[in-house]
Amino acid sequence: MLLFLPGALYFIIFKYLPMGGLIIAFKNYNLFDGVMGSPWVGMKHFETIFRQPHTLDVIRNTVVLSVLNVFVGFPFPIILAIMLNEVRRSWFKRSIQTIVYLPHFFSWVIIGGFVVTLFSIESGTINHWIRAVFGEPYPFLYKAGSWIAIYVGSGIWKEVGFGAIIYLAALTSIDPSLYESASIDGANKFQQMRHITIPGISSTIFLLFILSMGRIMEVGFDHVYVLKTPMVSNVAEVISTYIYRIGLQGAQFSMTTALGLFESLVGLILVLIVNAVARKYDKGLW
C-alpha cells in the first residue's frame, strides 16, 4: 500500500485535479475574473477551432506525425527484443542493451544537438560527406520530407531501447521447452519466432499498442520544438507547440484548453475502439 501511494498521489495531483481547469474551455476566461467568474460561451471555442484553416492544419500535422510515430516506430522495439533474445553471449547482450537504452535518459535538447550536429547545412557531419562527393549540401532540416524522416527516426532511436526492455521481460515468460520441441520437429529460427515468440508476447504487443493509440494526438512538445525550423512550419506546427505559442505566449487560454480537450477526447475514443477490437482476440485491457 505504501509503495502504491506515491504513484497514486502523482496521478491525483498532476493528472486528475488539473482536469477541473477544463471548464475554461467553455468560458471566455480572463485572469481578472478567474475561472468561476469568467462568462460562459458554450461551444464557441470549439467552433472557432474547426473554422480556422490554420488550426485544422495543426491538427492534421499532429495526426500525421503521431501516426508515423506509432506505425513506423512500433515494430522496432519488438524486432530489437527478439534479436537480443537470440544473443547467447551475456556480456555482448548487456553491452548492446546499455547502448540502445541510454538515449532514453537523454533530454530532447541533447538529442536535438546530436541531430543538428549530423544534419545541419554548414557544419553537419553528413553534409560534410555530401559536399565532398556532390559539391552541394542538402538542407535536411529545411525540407518537409527529410524533416519528417529525421523526426520519426530520432524518436525511434531515443525510445527503441526502452520498448525493447519491456518486450524482453515478456519473452522470459515463454516456456523454453517450446523452442526445444520446435527444434526437434525441424523448425528453424524464423519459424520459431513466427509460431512461438510472436504469439508468446502478443498480449504485451496488444497492450502497448492500445496505450500508444491513446497518445495518437500527443506529439511531444520538446521533440518538435528542438527540431523545428521556420522553413518546415507547415508540417512541424503541432497541437503542443500551437498551445505554447497561442495559449502561453498569446494568452488565449480558453481556446487552447478547448484544443487540448479535443485532443484528449480523440485519444479516449481511439483507445476504446482499439480495445474493442483487441477484445475480439481476448487481448483487451478490460
pLDDT tens per residue, the chain (286 residues)?
Answer: 778 888 888 888 888 888 888 888 898 888 788 888 888 888 888 888 888 888 888 888 988 898 898 889 889 999 999 888 888 888 888 888 888 888 888 888 898 888 888 888 887 888 888 888 888 888 898 998 899 999 999 999 999 988 898 999 898 888 888 888 888 888 888 888 888 888 889 888 888 888 888 777 777 788 888 888 888 888 888 888 888 888 877 778 888 888 888 888 888 888 888 888 878 777 776 7
Describe the chain by its helix, strand, coil percentages, rounded to 5. Answer: 80, 0, 20
- The model's pLDDT over 55-107, given as tens digits with 9 standing for 90+, comes to 888 888 988 898 898 889 889 999 999 888 888 888 888 888 888 888 888 88
Residues 6+ apart with CB under 8 A from 240: 62, 218, 219, 220, 221, 224
Q: Report the C-alpha gap between 110 and 112 in whole angstroms.
A: 5
Q: How far apart are alpha carbons 243 and 257 in whole angstroms?
A: 8
Question: 3-class DSSP state for residue 27?
Answer: strand
User: Do residues 268 and 210 make contact, with C-beta atoms less than 8 angstroms apart?
Assistant: no
The residue written with cell numbers 492534421 in the block is 60
What is the structure's pLDDT at 54?
A: 83
What domains can be seen in the chain, in order of their start residue?
41-279 (1.10.3720.10)
Using alpha carbons only, give the angle 40, 44, 45 rounded to the nearest 5 degrees: 100
The residue among 239, 247, 237, 243 whose CA lies nearest residue 218 is 239
**Cα angle for residues 242, 219, 203 (degrees, 5° grid):** 155
